[in-house]
Amino acid sequence: MALKGIGLNGKAEIHMRKLKMWLLGLAAAAMLSVSACAQEIPEESLNGNGSVSAEENQAESADGDSQAVSSSENGGNRVSSASGTSFNLADVPAYSGQPYVAVNGNVPYFTDADLTDVSFESYSDLDSLGRCGVAYASVSQDTMPTEKRGSIGEVKPTGWHTAKYDNVDGKYLYNRCHLIGYQLTGENANEKNLITGTRYLNIEGMLPFENMVADYVKETDQHVMYRVTPVFEGDNLLAAGVLMEGKSVEDNGEGVLFCIFAYNVQPGVSIDYATGESSADGTIVNDTSAQEETKQSTSTSVQQEETQQPADTSITQQETSQSEEMQTYVLNTNTHKFHKPGCYSVEKIKPENYAEFTGTREEAIAYGYDPCKNCNP
What gap in Å lies between CA 231 and CA 162, rounded to an integer?
A: 22
321: left (phi over 0), alpha (psi -120 to 50) or beta: alpha
Q: Report which DSSP code applies to 164.
A: B
What average pLDDT does the structure give for the chain?
A: 75
User: How does residue 341 score in pLDDT terms, banded at 50, 70 and 90?
Assistant: confident
pLDDT of residue 9: 43
Q: pLDDT tens digits, residue range 41-60?
A: 333 333 232 222 233 333 33
| Residue 32 three-state SS | coil
Decide if pLDDT at 240 tops 60. yes
Question: What pLDDT score does 334 carry?
Answer: 80
Q: Which residue has the higher pLDDT, 363 or 208?
A: 208
pLDDT confidence bin for 346, thresholds 50/70/90: confident
- Which CATH architecture does the domain made up of 4-270 adopt? 3-Layer(aba) Sandwich (3.40)
Higher per-residue pLDDT: 283 or 262: 262
Res 86 pLDDT > 70: yes
pLDDT confidence tier of residue 131, bands split at 50, 70 and 90: very high
The segment(s) of the chain belonging to CATH 3.40.10.10 are 326-377
So what's the pLDDT on residue 352? 73
**Contact (Cβ atoms closer than 8 angstroms) between residue 195 and residue 157:** yes
Residue 300 pLDDT exceeds 70: no
Residue 368 has pLDDT above 90, yes or no: no
SS3 of residue 292 by DSSP: helix
Which residue spans of the chain are classified as CATH 3.40.570.10? 4-270
Between 146-160, 249-263, 317-331, 360-374, the lowest mean confidence (pLDDT) is in: 317-331
C-alpha dist (Å) from residue 321 to 164, 184, 196, 356: 14, 31, 21, 21
Beta-carbon contacts of residue 9 (< 8 Å; ≥ 6 apart): none
pLDDT in tens, 269-283: 999 999 999 998 544
Q: Is the predicted pLDDT of residue 123 greater than 50, yes or no?
A: yes
Write down the pLDDT at residue 362: 80
Fold entry, domain 326-377 = DNA Methylphosphotriester Repair Domain (3.40.10)
**How far is it, in rounded angstroms, from Cα 226 to Cα 136?**
6
* 257 three-class SS: strand
What is the pLDDT confidence band of residue 166, given thresholds at 50, 70 and 90? very high
Find the DSSP H helices in the chain. 12-28, 43-46, 182-185, 199-200, 207-220, 289-292, 297-308, 317-323, 361-366
pLDDT per residue as tens digits for the range 4-26: 344 434 434 444 444 444 554 44
pLDDT given at position 338: 86
